[in-house]
């Protein structure tokens, strides 16, 4: 009767962002299809849709941060539900990569020509740029763990430094992978090897970009004093996601670069 809640759950207020985000994704997909078929205004429509997605993400995250930091809606029971949700999200991402690995192993274990990699393909040496990128990502996993440990101890300076180092390492990884793609001896449409290679490594590269953006948002939030040792699920989710990206890359390095390129 007083207008308060007698439970620890968060009843979400009506929000326009799910509908706006769905429409933005639809516009982006239509624009991408038109662009790939070289239709008029395809690139423009795709750009408008993509910018709409970025706008939706900014506004939606802003509302969630308000709920967590200023309105007190993220109680321990709500945070527990968010952790379960993040675990399920990462599990769904694992299924994505499992499908890509399945396609790669199916093509490599039973090649049509009897030879893998195909005779006209020169794969990347595993112990060259791929090994460097492996060391970069493993080091970034150490720095994000350092940042998390510093947050739990209330050491905000080390938290900020760890986040900056992780973001820089993520950007370096993306730059090295872009350089690797530019100097590849095969293109995306040059056969089953190139298609499965670019699909798996490119999708992982996209996740690195998303994870880097995730950590940049965490850095700005940490700078604003948002995280505490008891209340920091936003950073925890980013750290989980980043470790997931690390583990996937280890499988890519071993299976695609080393084993698949032998």
What gap in Å lies between CA 4 and CA 231, rounded to an integer? 22
- Position with higher pLDDT, 77 vs 6: 77
Give me the torsion for CA of 229, 232, 238, 243, rounded to 10°.
40
Residue range(s) occupied by CATH 1.10.287.70 in the chain: 10-73
Which pLDDT value is given to residue 222?
94
Q: How far apart are CA 234 and CA 147, in angstroms?
A: 13
**Could you tell me which residue, 68 or 104, shows the higher pLDDT?**
104
Average pLDDT over residues 128-146: 96
pLDDT of residue 6: 60
For residues 219 and 210, what is the distance between their CA atoms, to the nearest angstrom? 14
Question: 152 or 1, which is more confident?
Answer: 152
Contact (CB, 8 A) for 194 and 188: yes
Tell me: pLDDT of 64 over 70.
yes
pLDDT at 4: 53
Distance CA 160, CA 219 (A): 7
d(CA 121, CA 123) in angstroms, rounded, equals 6
76-259 has which fold? Answer: 1.20.120
Task: Answer whether residue 5 shows pLDDT above 60.
Answer: no
The lowest-confidence range among 7-16, 71-80, 148-157, 232-241 is 7-16
With pLDDT > 90 as the criterion, what percentage of the chain qualifies?
69
pLDDT at 186 over 90: no
pLDDT in tens, 111-123: 877 788 888 888 8
Q: What is the mean pLDDT of residues 51-74?
A: 88
Residues of each domain in the chain carrying CATH 1.20.120.80: 76-259
Lowest-pLDDT choice from 5-9, 22-26, 94-98: 5-9
Query: Residue 1: is its pLDDT beyond 50?
Result: no
pLDDT exceeds cutoff 90 at 74 = no
**What's the rounded mean pLDDT across residues 195-208?**
93
pTM summary value = 0.87
The domain over range 10-73 is classified in CATH as 3.30.465.10: no
Residue 2 is predicted with a pLDDT of 46
Tell me what pLDDT residue 69 has. 83
- Mean model confidence pLDDT for the chain: 90
pLDDT of residue 7: 61
């Amino acid at each position: 009767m007083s207008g308060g809640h007698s439970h620890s759950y968060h009843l979400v207020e009506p929000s326009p962002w799910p509908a706006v985000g769905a429409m933005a994704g639809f516009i982006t997909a239509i624009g991408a299809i038109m662009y790939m078929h070289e239709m008029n205004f395809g690139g423009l429509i795709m750009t408008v849709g993509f910018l709409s997605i970025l706008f939706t993400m900014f506004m939606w995250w802003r509302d969630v941060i308000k709920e967590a930091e200023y309105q007190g809606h993220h109680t321990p029971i709500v945070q527990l539900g968010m952790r379960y949700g993040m675990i399920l999200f990462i599990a769904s991402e694992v299924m994505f990569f499992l499908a890509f690995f399945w396609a790669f192993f199916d093509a490599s274990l039973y090649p049509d020509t009897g030879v893998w990699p195909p005779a006209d393909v020169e794969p990347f040496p595993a112990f060259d740029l791929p090994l460097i990128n492996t060391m970069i990502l493993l080091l970034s996993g150490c720095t994000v763990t350092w940042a998390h440990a510093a947050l739990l101890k209330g050491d905000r300076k080390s938290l900020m430094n760890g986040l900056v180092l992780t973001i820089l390492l993520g950007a370096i990884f993306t730059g090295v992978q872009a350089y690797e793609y530019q100097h590849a001896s095969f293109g995306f449409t040059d056969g089953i090897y190139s298609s499965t290679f670019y699909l798996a490594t490119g999708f992982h590269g996209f996740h690195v970009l998303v994870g880097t953006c995730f950590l940049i948002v965490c850095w700005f939030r940490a700078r604003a004093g948002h995280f505490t040792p008891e209340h920091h699920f936003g950073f925890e989710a980013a750290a989980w996601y980043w470790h997931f990206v690390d583990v996937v890359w280890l499988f890519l390095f071993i299976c695609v670069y080393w084993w698949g390129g032998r």
